[in-house]
Chain A
Amino acid sequence: MTIETRALLSHPSLTSPEAEGRPAPPRRPRRKTRLLPVLVSTATIVSFLLLWWLASALALVSPVFLPSPAAVAISLGSLVTTGFVDATLAEHAAASLWRIFGALFFAVLIGVPAGLVIGLSRIGKALFDPVVEFLRPLPPLAYLPLIIIWFGIGEPSKIIVIALAMLPPVIISTAAGVKTVPKDQVRAARSFGASGLQVLSHVILPNTLPGILTGIRIALGAGWSTLVAAELVAANRGLGFMIQSASQFLVTDVVIAGILVIALIAFLLEGLARVVEARLIPWASHRN
């Protein structure tokens, strides 16, 4: 290395983005700016609770249809301690979560390879696209009776119904993820002597991971939407079953409590998904 080259290599322009004229990383927003969205969201929730409380306190709506926030809170407490229809809230939640994650397991097991095939091959797209397009707009209640005829009223039919609702988002997001794989990365790997399988595992799959995780997030939403329908069928545990049972007896506070618990779990799962994304794919937001 020449003396000049050595001197140049230590030049700040080769060691810092700023010196190269590239924009410096965005500065952290001021505390006040960061707090504002949190304050607005909190204000929205408080306003909603206030309106709800006012509507019940002024008896604008019958408590049979809209119990007060306090009644729902008391009901929640009793759901935790004594439960409803032979199970505590934790047992109902555990049964639902088991179904959701069981269904997610199968949706990922089938959906990711199917999405990869669709994204990588025109024949694969022709093969799987009709199935996805057939399933995607179908409401789960439409195919629920058929699933019961085929698989009975046991646990498998519930998981299958939820998995079928979760499958299209996983497939579509995975296939879309494949389309984002930079061609030059594949070419680079091939010029290093990578086999087709090595290109798939070392280049395509990591690039597709953000798409797969997005698909899982959307699938979780679809899964919760389908859960109540799935738990209509001969269930004796589950949040959907609990809400259905409560509605049959007009125990509206339990219905609302159940809805709030589902919303809370979905919210926590979304938070968990974001943590997983930040851990697994911190590079995704910096991709070209």
Chain B
Amino acid sequence: MHELTLDTVSLDYGTGNQPVLDRVALKLRQDEFVVVIGRSGAGKTSLLNLAAGFVEPTEGRVLLNGKPVSGPGQRRVVVFQDDALFPWLDALDNVAFPLKLERVGLAQRRAEARRLLSLVGLARATNRRIWELSGGMRQRVGIARALAAKPAFLLLDEPLGALDALTRSQMQELLLDVWAKSGVGALLITHSIEEALLLGTRILVLAPGGRGVRAEFRPGFGRRLLAGESAGALKDLPEFLALKRELVALIEDGERTELAA
């Protein structure tokens, strides 16, 4: 069981302003789907960039299985909001890209890429050019490509943020399904409270101004969704609505506190 730890990390960009993250601690296990929510400027993306190794903390350490890591690495792969696919490659070769870097043979890497595309429901889109795919399909290629790197953790930087409501709802279920099947830990950044409640095994609410985790919740709706309950029905449950109200209040209250300060 892999474990990713942000050990009291701080981050500032040397601009003289207050740090974007100030002594934030986070532990993520491989069997978890952790969702981070908070207002803009709370440091959600900075937190993910630290976990991915794209930026180094000015204080604190990033640990993988207890050992300090620096820079990006295959154990922590990112799925981006704008998909970051390579338009000169078709869907199959985009997914096979991480395996190409590892010098896996052509036939073997394409077979694996086909398997992963099937996992995300794109078995028939292997030879499609990236620009021929819809936004939802592109994100699914991005998820399959990330899985090809055999990561321990998927770091999801608002991957569903640019999708329309219907596609987003479908992709949420797909994401949960892929997480359950692939056995990777997930860290999702999102602005959507409903998305956080539906997917997260744990929700972290970030305080404004990068002051760290303000509250933590462990909703169980994701497991129920995986068990076959419908998202619509779950969203109508009194406990779902109550938790949603609580999260909204927490985020709004955090913002008021910051404005007052």
Which of B44-90 touch A at CB < 8 Å?
52-54, 71-74, 76-78, 80, 82, 84-88
Using known A-B contacts A20-B135, A188-B84, A194-B101, determine if residue A13 contacts B73 with beta carbons closer than 8 Å.
no
Determine if B97 is an interface residue (Cβ-Cβ < 8 Å).
yes
Task: Specify which of A184, A188, A287 lies most central, judged by the most chain B CB atoms within 10 Å of its CB.
Answer: A188
Check B173–A202 contact: CB distance below 8 A.
no
Question: Distance in Å from the Cβ of A128 to the closest Cβ of chain B?
Answer: 27
Determine if B226 is an interface residue (Cβ-Cβ < 8 Å).
yes
Using known A-B contacts A5-B173, A20-B167, A187-B54, determine if residue A193 contacts B82 with beta carbons closer than 8 Å.
no
For B226, list chain A residues within 8 Å (CB).
2
Question: Distance in Å from the Cβ of A239 to the closest Cβ of chain B?
Answer: 37
- CA A11 – CA B72 in complex, angstroms? 36
Question: Distance in Å from the Cβ of A189 to the closest Cβ of chain B?
Answer: 8
Using known A-B contacts A1-B181, A14-B170, determine if residue A288 contacts B101 with beta carbons closer than 8 Å.
no
Stretch in contact with the other chain, from B126-134, B197-205, B209-217, B248-256: B126-134
Check A14–B84 contact: CB distance below 8 A.
no
Of the residues A21, A192, A209, A288, contact of B97 by C-beta under 8 Å: A192
Check A14–B137 contact: CB distance below 8 A.
yes
Check A202–B134 contact: CB distance below 8 A.
no
Check A1–B129 contact: CB distance below 8 A.
no
Check B74–A1 contact: CB distance below 8 A.
no
Interface size of B by CB at 8 A reads 48
For B74, list chain A residues within 8 Å (CB).
191-193
Check A184–B82 contact: CB distance below 8 A.
yes
Question: Distance in Å from the Cβ of A50 to the closest Cβ of chain B?
Answer: 45
Determine if A16 is an interface residue (Cβ-Cβ < 8 Å).
yes
Check B76–A191 contact: CB distance below 8 A.
yes
Using known A-B contacts A193-B149, A283-B88, determine if residue A16 contacts B134 with beta carbons closer than 8 Å.
yes
Chain B residue with Cβ nearest A283: B87
Question: Distance in Å from the Cβ of A280 to the closest Cβ of chain B?
Answer: 9
Determine if B121 is an interface residue (Cβ-Cβ < 8 Å).
yes
For A189, list chain B residues within 8 Å (CB).
97, 101
Check B134–A188 contact: CB distance below 8 A.
no
What per-residue 1/0 map shows which CB atoms of A191-230 lie under 8 Å from chain B?
1111000100011001001000000000000000000000
Check A15–B130 contact: CB distance below 8 A.
no
For B227, list chain A residues within 8 Å (CB).
2
Using known A-B contacts A15-B137, A203-B86, determine if residue A188 contacts B80 with beta carbons closer than 8 Å.
yes
Check A22–B135 contact: CB distance below 8 A.
yes
A residues whose Cβ falls under 8 Å from a Cβ of B:
1-6, 8-11, 13-17, 19-22, 182, 184-185, 187-194, 198, 202-203, 206, 209, 281-283, 286-288
Can you list 20 A-B contacts with CB-CB less than 8 angstroms, sorted by A residue number? A6-B121, A13-B136, A14-B136, A16-B134, A19-B134, A182-B82, A184-B80, A187-B52, A187-B54, A187-B80, A188-B78, A189-B97, A190-B71, A190-B72, A191-B74, A192-B74, A193-B72, A206-B86, A283-B88, A287-B87
